[in-house]
Amino acid sequence: MKKLITILTFLVLLSATALDAKTRYTLWTRPTFVSCSVEMNCPKEMPGLKLEYRKVGEKAWKEAEILPFFATQPGYRTSIFRLEEDTKYECQFVLKGKRLCKGSFTTWKSDVPVAKTIELNPDKLPIYIKEGGTRNGWVRYTAPEGAVFCNNGTRPTIIVDGVDYILIDGLECQGPQIHDGVISVKNSTGVRIQNCDIYDFGRLAPVNYEDRGVPQINGKNVNFDGAIKIHKGCSEVVVERCYIHDSFGKSNSWRYAHPAGTEAVILYRPDHSTVIRYNDFIGSDLHRFNDAVESQGNFAEDGGFNRDADIYGNFMIFCNDDCIELDGGQRNVRLFDNRFEGALVGPSIQGCMVSPSFSFDNIISGLGDEFGMVGSGFKTGGGRHGPEAKTYIWNNTWWNKSGGFNNMEALEAHLWNNTFAEGCKIRNLDKSPKSTAQNNKMNVKMTDADIPVELPARPCPFILSAARESDLKDGYTLQLKALPELKGEQPWRVRRNFDMDWFEVSPDEGVLHPGETVTLTVHLDPDKIKDRRVYRSAFIVRTPEGLSRPFSFYVNTDYVTPFRPEIAEDDAVFVDVFNPVSGEARIVDSPDTEFGKVVRLPDGEEGLVYEFSVPKEGPWWIKIRARGMTNGYVQSGVDGDYLSTQLMTFKDYMSWAIVAPGKKQGNRISCWNFAPGQTHRICIRKAKRTPENFEIEGIVVTRDPAPFEPR
């Protein structure tokens, strides 16, 4: 009898399984704070089947809106959304008025019972967490007031391995500058990392332009240098109210190759129930994240967040690739109430291997990597999907400069009630026969004022009057306003990344009272705003508990990368673009350029051919200085090489871009070992998508590409 009770208790606590012996339908649940995964095994699809749920004690049932059937693992699986924390629910599958099976579950609560608090010593690093708790009595690890865990060593600051039910609360961590992370969690259940301030982490490596332009040490890419690492064997790991910023390492842009570098959080196929909520993951142009949240196993059934996970209420900004990767299993993975900005791509849902995944009530605003390259609002392509991959996307906003949604034949995507700004499109719907797009608002004209200040959604007792300013001027003001739920005094403080020292906010701290509004003023330092075209920034107004409201802004200047930047004379050969050895250059007056004139490419097959020689051994790179197209194509070849079509990203002002003929890394970067004293030829001609106003100011052959980057 005692053994039977133990088995029944295990089933109720871990999976809330209910079995109807007559029909043999099995209902299974797994809750988090505000969501619950629900599955029912059955051999075939049953038209008219409903999933109903309600709070225990209520009379009326609610119906789950989404209920997909999967034949490969026969049964139904979905999620229930917008539940209340620490609340008991019951649910049932019903067909034609008949209940097939029933179960119950209780959502998690934010405040867990703490049985013991341990104060960590910041002078003894690394710290191996050894003592865990139970569901009914957690162990809380914290720090002395004002302590900074400054780690200059070769191991993570906090190491959790095989320890359950712990809180890591309120730590400020500087470094370490290693691959293995700041906080490492392995083989553990019930780990909450909350209200931590993490910076100066990851390895800084030189960019190897000879090998695709990625950061490398000893010939190996520097990548997956995450602040928080959640490994396989983990379940119920929560990262919340953390500010992760100012990585020591950097990442490269897609201008050269697939980005590699640092991340705020990395997931190495955790078992289940990972929650990332209410965090600020803020990169910068000088220290961009690769992805703010990256995953491994992108095309594996247990990859990424794997299953039964929630990501909500987060602010992720300034990445060179994706804001977040959901890539992998995506079995009941839910993404909602987030704000994504300043990356090549917002969320990536490619590699949807099991599914279903759900994305709703997010905003993708103002995409662009460090050089302004823009990809898709949601990334769907670039790899395979599972045989029954299904994703559901609703009530999201694609703000300006976000590249819409691209349907894939292998991914069943359902989009409804989304809002797309001008230029953002739903593409290739005809190539994905199972996908749908309904009631979406297209070509909506949007301004900064259309970004909801409530996103990312958080239980924060104040709000800002604006979310973003695309062209901020010195003296800009916004209001910090108390919300009705604020009942007492609320301390607050403005936080910004360290390398965003070219502005200040005043006041930068204070105490907010019920009903009060405080005016914040942004002051720019003109002495520090002079070597980039666009200064991109964000700051947060943060409480001591780690809840915050973000504000992003952009300062536009008239800076143009010099025609001749500081570089050794024999490391750069400038080609006279006005005198080709073959082809007729169309020369147009242009007084705002180096020589007062520019070249436009002629029509026809010949193009323009130029000759040059170099003063010493290579490697050498070729760059072209031009303007007139955001994403356009030209064809190029060197020394009779194949004339390949290359995507080139320019601005409406003169900037340098790499010429990369051939078929190397998507035509992103190529170098040549030119010998001195020999004559070489480069040919440039129009492609199908070269705009008529494409203007060339110069060509340079250089031993160092870095000074020619279009900052």
What's the pLDDT tens digit per position in 308-333?
999 999 999 999 999 999 999 999 99
> Whats the size of the chain, residue-wise?
711
Does the predicted model carry a pTM greater than 0.85? yes
Query: Tokens 């708790």 map to which residue?
Result: 133
| Residue 521 sits in the same domain as residue 578 | no
Domain count of the fold of the chain: 4
| Residue 359 sits in the same domain as residue 238 | yes
Please check whether residue 238 lies inside any domain of the structure. yes
Residue 665 has a pLDDT of 39
| Residue 511 sits in the same domain as residue 539 | yes
Best CA proximity match to 221, nearest among 264, 181, 250, 184: 250
Please check whether residue 526 lies inside any domain of the structure. yes
Reported as a pLDDT band with limits 50, 70 and 90, residue 23 is low
Residue 661 has a pLDDT of 66
What's the rounded mean pLDDT across residues 397-421? 92
Say what percent of the chain tops pLDDT 90: 83
Alpha-carbon gap, residue 302 to 322, rounded angstroms: 20
Q: Phi and psi at residue 45, in whole multiples of 5°?
A: -70, 140
78 contacts 33 by C-beta, under 8 angstroms: no
Q: Which helix (H) or strand (E) holds 13?
A: helix 2-14
| Residue 581 sits in the same domain as residue 470 | no
Domain containing residue 698: CATH number: 2.60.120.260
Q: Greater confidence, 5 or 499? A: 499
Q: What is the pLDDT of residues 492-510, one digit of tens each?
A: 999 999 999 999 999 999 9
Alpha-carbon gap, residue 454 to 92, rounded angstroms: 34
Q: Is the model's pLDDT at 10 over the cut of 70?
A: no
333 contacts 309 by C-beta, under 8 angstroms: yes
Best CA proximity match to 658, nearest among 700, 618, 694: 700
Best CA proximity match to 278, nearest among 116, 455, 112: 455
Alpha-carbon gap, residue 62 to 350, rounded angstroms: 32
| Residue 515 sits in the same domain as residue 577 | no
| Residue 582 sits in the same domain as residue 650 | yes
Domain containing residue 101: CATH number: 2.60.40.10
Give the end of a domain, one of 59, 77, 106: 106
Q: What is the pLDDT of residues 92-103, one digit of tens each?
A: 999 999 999 999
Alpha-carbon gap, residue 35 to 100, rounded angstroms: 22
Please check whether residue 430 lies inside any domain of the structure. no
Looking at 364-498, list the stretches that DSSP marks H as alpha helix, in order from N- to C-terminal side. none
| Residue 84 sits in the same domain as residue 28 | yes
Please check whether residue 228 lies inside any domain of the structure. yes
Residue 471 has a pLDDT of 97
Q: Which two tokens stand for residue 109?
A: 């609560």
| Residue 696 sits in the same domain as residue 591 | yes
Q: Which two tokens stand for residue 230?
A: 């959640």
Alpha-carbon gap, residue 539 to 635, rounded angstroms: 42
Q: Phi and psi at residue 12, in whole multiples of 5°?
A: -70, -45
Q: What is the pLDDT of residues 680-693, one digit of tens each?
A: 999 998 888 888 88
Please check whether residue 451 lies inside any domain of the structure. no
| Residue 612 sits in the same domain as residue 549 | no
**529 is in which domain, residue-wise?**
462-556
Radius of gyration, CA atoms only, the chain:
28
Give the end of a domain, one of 523, 556, 589: 556
Q: Is the model's pLDDT at 4 over the cut of 50?
A: no
What's the rounded mean pLDDT across residues 114-132? 97
Give the end of a domain, one of 337, 362, 383: 383
Alpha-carbon gap, residue 670 to 648, rounded angstroms: 14
Question: 3-class SS at 559?
Answer: coil
DSSP-derived letter for residue 352 is: B
Mind spelling out the 3-state secondary structure of 84-151? CCCCEEEEEEEECCEEEEEEEEECCCCCCCEEEEEECCCCCCCEEECCCCECCEEEEEECCCCCCEEC
349 contacts 374 by C-beta, under 8 angstroms: no
Q: What is the pLDDT of residues 512-555, one digit of tens each?
A: 999 999 999 999 999 999 999 999 999 999 999 999 999 999 99
| Residue 276 sits in the same domain as residue 318 | yes
Residue partners of 445: CB distance under 8 A and separation at least 6: 421, 422
Residue 691 has a pLDDT of 81
Total Cβ atoms within 10 A of residue 272? 21
Please check whether residue 41 lies inside any domain of the structure. yes
Alpha-carbon gap, residue 324 to 98, rounded angstroms: 42
| Residue 209 sits in the same domain as residue 321 | yes
| Residue 217 sits in the same domain as residue 361 | yes
Please check whether residue 144 lies inside any domain of the structure. no
Please check whether residue 523 lies inside any domain of the structure. yes
* 505 bridge partner residues: 522
Best CA proximity match to 531, nearest among 507, 567, 502: 502
